[in-house]
Structure 1
Amino acid sequence: MAPASDAPGDGEKRGLMVNNSLCKEKVPFFTKDGSRNVTWYICGPTVYDSSHVGHARNYVTFDIIRRILEDYFHYNVKYVMNVTDVDDKIINRARRNYLMDQYRSGAIDLNKVIEDLERAMEEELVKQQKKISDTEGGLEKATSSRQKDDLADRVKQEQLKVTKINEARDLLQGQKEEARKLGGKEGINMLLGGSAADSLASQLDARLGATVTDHAIYKSHTLKYENEFWDDMTALGCGYPDVLVRVTEYMDKIIEYVEVVLANKFAYVANGSVYFDTKAFREAGHQYGKLNPAAVGSSLLASESESNFETSEKRTSCDFALWKKSKPGEPAWESPWGLGRPGWHIECSAMASDILGDNMDIHSGGHDLQFPHHDNELAQSEAYFHCHEWVRYFFHSGHLSIDGLKMSKSLKNFITIKEALTKYTARQLRMLFVIQSWDKSINFSTTVVNEALQKEKQFKNFFANVESYLRQHPMAGIQRPGDDEKQLFSRVDQAQIMVRERLEDNFDTAGAVTELLTLVRDVHSYIDKCKSANGKPQPSLLKKAAIFVTKILVVFGLSDAKNDEIGFGSTTSQSGSTGNLTTVVAPYVDGWVSLRDSVRSAVKSNASQAKLMELTDKVRDEDMVDAGVCVVDEGNTSTWRLDDPQVLQRERDERRLKVKEEKLRVLRQKRLQKANLLEKHEASSTSPQEIFKTKDEYKDFAFDERGVPTHDKGGKELPKNAKKKFEAAYKKAVTDHEKFKDSLVKDPHFLQNLRAELQEIVSQILRLEQDR
């Protein structure tokens, strides 16, 4: 293996070890020709819908690994990505959306729409229950442990789909009356905008899909979601591929590829379709199912992504389509076998082979693509090239799961990238993936996200601390290094070595971050020691540590710092501006001038110290936050750092929300106390002689001269225990009434004042609740 070239924090050169799915273990990494040139093909998006955080897990993960190879180990990577713009998912989704639009425009009878939705969900439920039964049957027959695990996971997925249908059905029941109140088109649109419409779209497609013949419907659908995908990738900070290929632009190459596989006698034609012959492939000495042999032959494990798995046209159940005869309602291209379209797997083989040839260093994708997609890609390509190693290293990223199940559009348990970016920054999402093993599953939970946010905060505080010393203590103040300085110099060197070891061990970014944060803690300890000894930390040493940490974060795509900058780089809207100096400094100067004007006015009006502090707090929490400056008060002094204004605004809003929630909690408690007190005083204002007579339940009773009940409405004397109860209540009423009269003597308006106080508390609660 060629030696690794210089990288940030070289240390001792060791070999890069990677987890290769082809051999299920970590192996040394070296390129096919021993050079620094790496060829890499990554399975890109199937552009049928919006990308979700599960997709982000895959593309951000491989963006990080690409950066490490290029920017740390200094390989020259040729990164090729495809866009699948024709396949079963795209055809089904585009067709269903079109048919739902047609249905919606023609729907005028609300009751008929409700009837259609309910019937469609019932039919979908029956189909889904059968899928569960079939999958459970397959699980019982499974022989290998991997197949059992995969099928057990599939059972859970199918059960979740049933849960989602039932939830949609329950929601529809609750919406029906609301829709009837709205009436007409408004009520219809409300129902068709809900999750119940998915089942109806499926039924419409089954009945009318063959009537959709305009191929522009598919083209506009894929164009929309491809543009969305690139917007999402840009927002997440992912680099663009060096080469981009699309299926619809490669039909000639795909057809030519299929012809060669046929000529090599590894495929056969059947009724206008072309199928790969797995039996002939094996008999020629090839291995089929290298990545997941346990799934070979299981229609249950392939059916999620391989349509028409079972068909009488195939010679064996393992065979798969290279070219599919197009059905009515599907896009089609001319071919030697008639009108048709590519199989799912052939597209990647043809496109990757055209760009990278008969052997590539890396092929990557999500863990779920191992079978059938990547196994079938390997088979096709080996059959085409008459080779046994088309791919040298297969990288598969782990799933992103929610509640233990893979995030998936079909399972309806996803969060789109756009939705996630309204709650978290791109850096925070990237940090989430950096601190996990790239080839292991992640359960997307509050705990995992909070861990990423906490680590980001640790780095922010570290950079802010170092920057404050670099501003306060010029380099001219450097003193002779003592033992503490020598120890920290050694720790920086050691951290560089440890980070390299972690990255050489299968791109262990989580371990690398741990090493960086250990160095961060050591720097903080050094600063604390200097403070306790009334000394000053050496700025050059702090900067050395901070520059190293920054460089590694830059490699991971967590920072865009340039040259010898430290920290997360140009995160404010003003930083890196191409405008003039006035434009750049305007937000900060405006904040200072605004404070000066406010303080001058306050001083002239003899404002209190509290008012002056309120003015400074406003600048800290409003003007500076909006300008991307975080000011932190520490005793009688304050420190500051630059940050993304959106992050600071979100943190500020979260703090304010907590304060508001606490105020609401206290006010609600006060409201309850005041209401109970008012109720008690209002009850005690009634004369004891009237307390029973005024209640409806006693209106036909007989009473003594004090107004205490003696006989029920039938004239029957009350039992002793009832009389005791009434006597006790009467005595308490007498006592309470006397106290009430005493209160009136002290303050004749105390009851009205109590009502006013309660009303003011209620008004404060309403104002706070409305100000959300």
Structure 2
Amino acid sequence: MATATVQPEWRAPQAPDARVRERLPRLSVYNSLTRSKTPFVPRDVEGVAVGWYACGPTVYDDAHLGHARNYVSTDIIRRILTDYFKFRVTFVMNITDVDDKIILAARQQYLLSQWLAEYTTVDQDVRDVATEAFGAYLEKNLPLLGADVKPAAYDERTNEVYGHVLQGESVDRQGPPGDREAKIKMHLKAAASAAEALRFTHIAMGEFAAKASGVLLPYIDQLEKNTITGKDHNMFTKLTKQYEQRFFDDMASLNVRYPDKLTRVTEYGPQIVDYVKQIQDNGYAYENEGSVYYDTHAWESSGGVYARLEPWNRNDKELQQDGEGSLSTKKAGFKRSGADFALWKASKEGEPSWSSPWGEGRPGWHIECSAMASDVLGKQFDIHSGGIDLAFPHHDNELAQSEAYWAKSGKESEQWVNYFLHMGHLSIQGSKMSKSLKNFTTIREALAKGDWTPRGLRIVFLLGAWRDGLEITGEVVKAGKAWEEKLDNFFVKVRDIQDRNAPHGQYLNGVTDGISQLTTGLDNNGTEAILDEALEEAETKFHAALCDSFDTPAAMRVLSDLITAYNSEKKVPNTTSLLIAQWVTDMVVMFGLDPLYKPGQTGWSGLDIPDRAKPFIRPLSELRDRIREQAKAGAIDTAALGSQLSDKDTIYASTQPYANAYAEFQRRLAGLIAQPSGATSGEWLAVCDWVRDCTLWDLGIYLEDREGLPALVRPLSWSLREERAGRERGVAAKAAAKAKAKEEAAAVEQGKMDKGKLSHLEMFRTSEYVEWDAEGFPLRDAEGKELAKSRGKKLRKDYERQRKAHEGWLAAQGA
């Protein structure tokens, strides 16, 4: 068989003239086609327009953090190209709304809902079906348990067979756990939930269905799928429309931009049929039993190449089967080559279908992207992206079939895509996050719980290279929060400078009103020149980092280093502060770190306390500043202060926590004023500390006291929370250790007391001896021999110790 063994040379696009070449940034990108960094040159004759096709989600469940890794990283690169390098990008994304997983999920959910609608209570019929479903599920997915395991014995049997897997070991105990173990845990969880439902004597139908759904879904599907009509596409798209909307809601919450063009597989049925027919007409596809397969041998014999992205995987049976889905179970003796793959699948029972020259069928997985990308972007385009798991077989198959569509032979074919960008995976405990493994945390769960913020998640992705895998660890989370807080502190500092230099003391709320408003009269001893140079150097390094295949980790270090340089200078001209802050703001906004950004704003959102808090907290802070200043000077003007406490009688209201905080502070101050002998400076300062460290802390607000300046009013920072939590953990640990030591000492004392219950007069009256004196001391051993002096001395010491212990015990008993 004539098979290409040499990877074809990548044909680098060329700018048409010197004018365009000069205007283009010196950008290189890591290209999966070359497995190296290559200069980025758009196909556009003006070097401005960029066509980009991104593989979108398969919508049958909520998006998880693994999806966030892919689509946020993609969004970052898209923003760099458009907002930083000023390319005009047409970003096309598809929605996979029909494939094996979607068909199965949609059909199973529909059929189960139909079956459940026939019952209102959990009667014996329901239990019988669920018990059969439970056994079938175990037999198929957990064969080591045995299909005859009863729900009552499930937990015990599970611990015997899979206990080590549940404890974090691999099945064979030979290495670390991976996807196989994650899948077993998924099945164990579903079976355990069903077993629990079946063990309940009385249970509501809704709860029963929720707990047993994992085993009922596949079982009812096998019984009823023959009732589904292939032309009823709505039954399948009902599910996908729901999760498509939820996907884009999640993306919006992460500040991921919407595609310029969105395509859906179900809307491209006829076009996909035409696309497959053209490949067949060109001689690179053949039909078998209503399905159409790509002919890799014919393509390679014509001078084409298959598996350009990952040629080492072309014979990987597992990956090929994953790409073929339900067809992987079909005998493949008819295939002309083991690498051949489905372009069109004959629809089976319970599957959606479209009319075609080969009969009723549906698109293969890979053909959808080729047809839709070609329809929108044409014969050739610039960028194709997706997760790294799509490189083979998905993208390799796309390349082969698309070039076979557009060309009569491999020798005549043109490069369909110039740059392939593959995003690294997000891992959890060493296993790829996956819908099919159900080992994921959804985006909305993570945000709702507060485990992540949209900004925090994006920062973590920016701190890692876009094409590298990312394992979420405590160190990774800490690094992201530290970076974010560093910028928070910098922006807060600059905004404070702006506020204090605003006309008539008015707050600017972080929005610049011209550099001319800021004073520049400081004697800065060369600070301005130093920081101007630091800013210029940062801009140069930042640009170089982004030109180096979007090296965001290096770019993030540049921003951090610039702020370090700024913080190292004690007296910084206000204009310099603003210039640096404005550039840093522009860059973080370009990275997508502030969806609420307003033009002209310095810093990102979230730096200020809530607007409804300001009418109460700012006066509170000003009042506290005056009291602290007077207390330190040792002279509180109580008469003037008393006249200012106008809100001291404010009534508490749960809807007015900030008003309540101000009122309570004033009440405590009024209490100090009312002391007959007068309060000490320490007492005044203690109240000031209390309102900062207790009341305002609980409201998420912190007053940062500064020498010679008003306290800085700001949201409570992550590091302050961590510092207090660390102290509290230390106090708790110390208290626990003290309690444990006390408990152990008490146990020792109790042991001594318990030992003292035995009278010394009785302690030796055992079978070891046959004669004792009047006080119970032994004279002869069990053989009637008189005790040796040495042994007698030892026993006497034991005797005296027990005598003292017994006397102590008697005393404790009040005897």
TM interval, shorter chain, is 0.7 to 0.9
Quick check: 2:108–2:218 contact (8 Å CA) kept in 1? Answer: yes
Alignment CA distance shift 1:554-1:166 (3 Å): closer
* 1:91-490 → structure 2 map (5 Å cutoff): 91-98=103-110, 108=124, 117=134, 120-125=137-142, 160-164=178-182, 167=185, 182-185=200-203, 193=211, 205=221, 209-213=225-229, 216-307=234-325, 308-309=327-328, 311-386=332-407, 387-421=413-447, 422=449, 423-472=451-500, 475-479=518-522, 482-490=525-533
Contact 2:771 2:778 in 1 (8 A): yes
- Distance in 1, matches of 2:338 and 2:731, equals 66
Q: CA deviation at 1:370?
A: 0.9
CA distance in 2, matches of 1:690, 1:610: 59
Q: Which moved more, 1:185-194 or 1:558-567?
A: 185-194
In the aligned structure 1, how far is the partner of 2:461 from the partner of 2:727? Answer: 32
Output the CA distance in 1 between the equivalents of 2:60 and 2:703. Answer: 45
CA 1:583–1:482 in structure 2 vs 1: closer, same or farther (change >3 Å)?
A: closer
Deviates more, 1:211-220 or 1:156-165: 156-165
- Higher mean displacement: 487-496 or 258-267: 258-267
**8 A contact 1:702–1:709 mirrored in 2:** no
Distance 1:360 1:711 in 2: 107
| Residue 141 (structure 1) aligns with | none
* Whole-Å separation in 1 of the counterparts to 2:95 and 2:556: 33
Structure 1 CA distance for aligned equivalents of residues 520 and 787 of structure 2 = 96
Aligned partners of 1:462 and 1:520 also within 8 Å: yes
Deviations 1:143-198 (A, max 9, x none): xxxxxxxxxxxx9999735434655687799889977874343799579738xx75
* Structure 1 Cα separation of the partners of residues 219 and 783 of structure 2: 71
**1:375-433 CA distances to partner (integer Å, 9 max, x unpaired)?**
11122222222242221211111122234432223344333222332212111110111
Inter-partner Cα distance in structure 2 for 1:288 and 1:174: 45
Mapped partners of 1:539, 1:158: distance in 2: 56
Query: Structure 1 CA distance, aligned partners of 2:176 and 2:356?
Result: 37
CA distance in 1, matches of 2:363, 2:540: 49
Cα separation, 1, equivalents of 2:372 and 2:482: 42
Contact 2:91 2:259 in 1 (8 A): yes
> In the TM superposition, what is the alpha-carbon distance from 1:66 to its structure 2 partner?
0.8
> 1:502-521 to 2 correspondence within 5 Å?
502-521=545-564
For 2:712, the equivalent position in structure 1 comes to 640
Query: Contact conserved, 2:464 with 2:552, CA < 8 A, in 1?
Result: yes
Q: Which moved more, 1:218-227 or 1:562-571?
A: 562-571
1:710 Cα deviation from its structure 2 partner? 6.2
User: 1:50 deviation in Å?
Assistant: 1.9
Matched, 1:549 2:584: yes
- Cα deviation, residue 670, structure 1: 3.8
Structure 1 Cα separation of the partners of residues 441 and 271 of structure 2 = 36
Distance 1:51 1:332, change over 3 A: same
In structure 2, relative to structure 1, the CA distance for the partners of 1:540 and 1:112 (3 Å cut) is same
Q: What does residue 739 of structure 2 align with?
A: 671
Shift in Å, 1:85:
0.7
- CA-to-aligned-CA distance 1:634-681 (integer Å, 9 cap, x gap): 6797753645x8xx5x77776665455444434433433444555566
Q: CA deviation at 1:61?
A: 0.3
Report the equivalent of 2:624. none
Q: 2:54, 2:386 within 8 Å by CA — same for their partners in 1?
A: yes
Cα drift, residue 602 of structure 1 = 5.2
**Structure 1 residue 52: Cα displacement:** 1.6
CA offset digits 1:329-369 (Å, max 9, x no partner): 11222333222111111111121222111121111101111
Stretches of structure 2 lacking an aligned partner (at least 5 in a row): 1-14, 146-172, 408-412, 503-517, 620-655
What's the CA shift for 1:498?
0.8
Identify which range, 497-506 or 538-547, moves more after superposition. 538-547
- What secondary structure sits across from 1:631 in the alignment? strand
Distance 2:454 2:107 in 1: 33
- State the 1:233 CA deviation: 0.8
Kept after mapping to 1: 8 A contact 2:344/2:364? yes
Instruction: Tell me by how many angstroms 1:565 deviates.
Output: 2.6
Relative to structure 1, is the Cα distance of residues 177 and 608 closer, same or farther in structure 2, using a 3 angstrom cutoff?
Answer: farther
Give CA-to-partner distance per residue, 1:117-148, whole Å, 9 cap, x none: 466335324599xxxxxxxxxxxxxxxxxxxx
Q: Which has the larger radius of gyration?
A: 2
Matched positions, count? 698
1:596 aligned to which of 666, 678, 693 = 666
Secondary structure class of the residue paired with 1:323:
strand
Q: CA deviation at 1:57?
A: 0.7
Return the alpha-carbon distance in structure 1 between the equivalents of residues 128 and 524 of structure 2. Answer: 84
**Residue type of the partner of 1:124?**
N
Judged with a 3 Å threshold, the aligned counterparts in structure 2 of structure 1 residues 246 and 705 are, in CA distance, closer, same or farther, namely: farther
CA contact (8 A) 1:266 1:277 kept: yes
Is residue 38 from structure 1 mapped to residue 50 from structure 2 by the alignment? yes
Q: Is the 8 A contact 2:672 2:684 kept in 1?
A: yes
Percent of aligned positions with the same letter in both sequences?
34
**Larger displacement relative to structure 2 (327-336 or 77-86):** 327-336
Superposed CA offset, 1:11-64 (max 9, x none): x98511111111211111121123311111111100122212111111000100
Aligned residue identity for 2:352: P
| Counterpart contact for 1:271–1:313, Cα < 8 Å | no
> Aligned partners of 2:777, 2:388: CA distance in 1, in Å?
80
Q: Residues of 2 paired with 1:727 and 1:99: CA distance?
A: 86
> Which of 48, 67, 82 in structure 1 is aligned with 2:94?
82
Q: Give SS of 1:351's match.
A: helix
Opposite residue 39 of structure 1, the aligned amino acid is G
Superposition pairs of residues 640-719 of structure 1, within 5 angstroms: 640=712, 642-643=714-715, 658-676=726-744, 678=746
Q: For the Cα contact (< 8 Å) 2:559–2:584, is it kept in 1? A: yes
Distance 1:382 1:184, change over 3 A: same
Q: Cα–Cα, structure 1 residues 240 and 620, in superposed 2: closer, same or farther, change >3 Å?
A: farther
Q: Secondary structure at the match of 2:569?
A: helix
Worse-superposed segment, 676-685 or 282-291: 676-685
Q: How far, CA to CA, are the matches of 1:694 and 1:231 in structure 2?
A: 82
CA displacement at 1:738 relative to structure 2: 6.9
- Tell me the residue number matched to 1:496: 539
Q: 1:175 to 1:247 in 2, by over 3 A?
A: closer
CA separation of 1:711/1:75 partners in 2, compared to 1, >3 Å: closer, same or farther?
A: farther
Query: Partner residue of 2:505?
Result: none
Q: Which has the higher helix share?
A: 1
